[in-house]
């Protein structure tokens, strides 16, 4: 292997979707594959970091050299992330469901002839990135993603501030881009320093570029 500039550093990465149960057999989910988050966990590990990957339900293999904690719901993901603190860097890539079903049924909801469909009451999920970005044990670097279909840069920058992140990688997930679930990504890196448009790359290359940036930035911060 090559240089390991992240040796001795701890990283937490979230990846994949969350599944929010409606009842024991049904859930609300989204189209996240976990490809980008898993690639970032692997890239940080290749640079020598001690990586904890908190992953929602995905079908892709565990990345090499990474500790994987599997969760289903957003609240479980939040708990696993907070248990993994402290860390030098947190990269929140998971497509966490914004809402969960307020009170999931403990039994399979039955369809009864002639009855109206059951109403689904939703409750807001914890915002894991925002929690970590404002935590007393905040990692030195906090990185988030912003999947948008419009006003990508503006929405990304407001997320940077609201969530207390150092970097937001904003991407356009309109269906025509093929990004969500696909192998390629095109991101805009948003930070206090400005916006940087990265070219269309495969998700492994985005991961490598981000891991290298994280290594350089931790090094720079350490020197003061
Ligand atoms: O607000 P929005 O979901 O667009 O923000 C996206 C960023 O916030 C991603 O980095 C995502 O992993 C993180 N996030 C989170 N917990 C949530 C919602 C989003 O960590 N409940």
Q: Is 127 annotated as a binding residue?
A: yes
Handedness of CA 61, 128, 156, 212 (dihedral sign): negative
Specify the pLDDT at position 44: 98
How far apart, in Å, are the Cα atoms of 5 and each of 26, 213, 219, 221?
Answer: 44, 11, 8, 14
Q: How sure is the predictor about 148, in pLDDT bands with cuts at 50, 70 and 90?
A: confident
Domains (range + CATH), the chain: 10-102+122-223 (3.40.50.10300)
Structure tokens, 157: 């920058």
Query: Of all residues in the chain, what percent carry a pLDDT higher than 90?
Result: 88
185, burial (CB in 10 Å: exposed 0-12, middle 13-18, buried 19+) = buried
Question: Looking at residues 74-78, what average pLDDT do you find?
Answer: 98
Residue 1 has pLDDT above 80, yes or no: no
Distance 47 CA to ligand 1 centre (A): 25
Mean pLDDT value across the chain: 95
Distance 112 CA to ligand 1 centre (A): 37
Going by their DSSP bridges, the two strands 67-70 and 50-55 should be labelled as parallel
Distance CA 190, CA 153 (A): 8
Q: Is 98 annotated as a binding residue?
A: yes
Q: Is 221 annotated as a binding residue?
A: no
Distance 97 CA to ligand 1 centre (A): 8
Specify the pLDDT at position 128: 98
Specify the pLDDT at position 178: 84
Distance 105 CA to ligand 1 centre (A): 26
Of 30, 125, 151, 155, the active-site residue reads 30
Structure tokens, 19: 């599944």
For residue range 158-199, list pLDDT tens digits in order. 999 999 999 999 988 888 888 777 889 899 999 999 999 999
ipTM over the 0.95 cut-off: yes
Q: The pTM is what? A: 0.96
Specify the pLDDT at position 135: 98
Specify the pLDDT at position 14: 98
Residues 6+ away with beta carbon under 8 Å from 223? none
- H-helix or E-strand containing 129? helix 128-133
Q: Whose CA is nearest to atom 9 of ligand 1?
A: 145
| Ligand 1 atom with minimal separation from the 163 CA | 8
Specify the pLDDT at position 16: 98
Q: Is 50 annotated as a binding residue?
A: no
| Ligand 1 atom with minimal separation from the 93 CA | 12
For residue range 21-46, list pLDDT tens digits in order. 999 999 999 989 999 999 999 999 99
30 is catalytic: yes
Question: Looking at residues 71-94, what average pLDDT do you find?
Answer: 98
Pocket test for ligand 1, best of 125, 128, 150, 157 (most atoms within 8 A of CB): 128
Pocket of ligand 1 (CB under 6 A): 14, 74, 92-94, 96, 125-129, 144-146, 159
């Amino acid at each position: 292997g090559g240089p390991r500039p992240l040796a001795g550093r701890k990283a937490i990465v979230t990846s994949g979707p969350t599944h929010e149960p409606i009842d024991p057999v049904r859930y609300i989910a989204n189209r996240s594959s976990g490809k980008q988050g898993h690639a970032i966990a692997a890239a940080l590990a290749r640079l020598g970091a001690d990586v904890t990957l908190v992953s929602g339900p995905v079908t892709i293999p565990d990345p090499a050299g990474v500790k994987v904690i599997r969760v289903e719901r957003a609240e479980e993901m939040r708990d696993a992330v907070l248990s993994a603190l402290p860390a030098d860097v947190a990269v929140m890539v998971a497509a966490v469901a914004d809402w969960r079903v307020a009170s999931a049924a403990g039994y399979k909801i039955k369809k009864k002839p002639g009855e109206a469909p059951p109403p689904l009451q939703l409750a807001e999920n914890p915002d894991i990135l925002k929690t970590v970005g404002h935590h007393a044990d905040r990692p030195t670097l906090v990185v988030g993603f912003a999947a948008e279909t419009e006003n990508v840069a503006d929405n990304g920058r407001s997320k940077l501030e609201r969530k207390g992140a150092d970097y937001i990688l904003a991407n356009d997930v309109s269906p025509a881009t093929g990004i969500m679930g696909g192998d390629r990504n095109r991101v805009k890196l948003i930070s206090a320093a400005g916006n940087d448009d990265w070219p269309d790359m495969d998700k492994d290359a985005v991961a490598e570029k981000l891991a290298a940036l994280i290594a350089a930035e931790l090094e720079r911060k350490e020197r003061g």
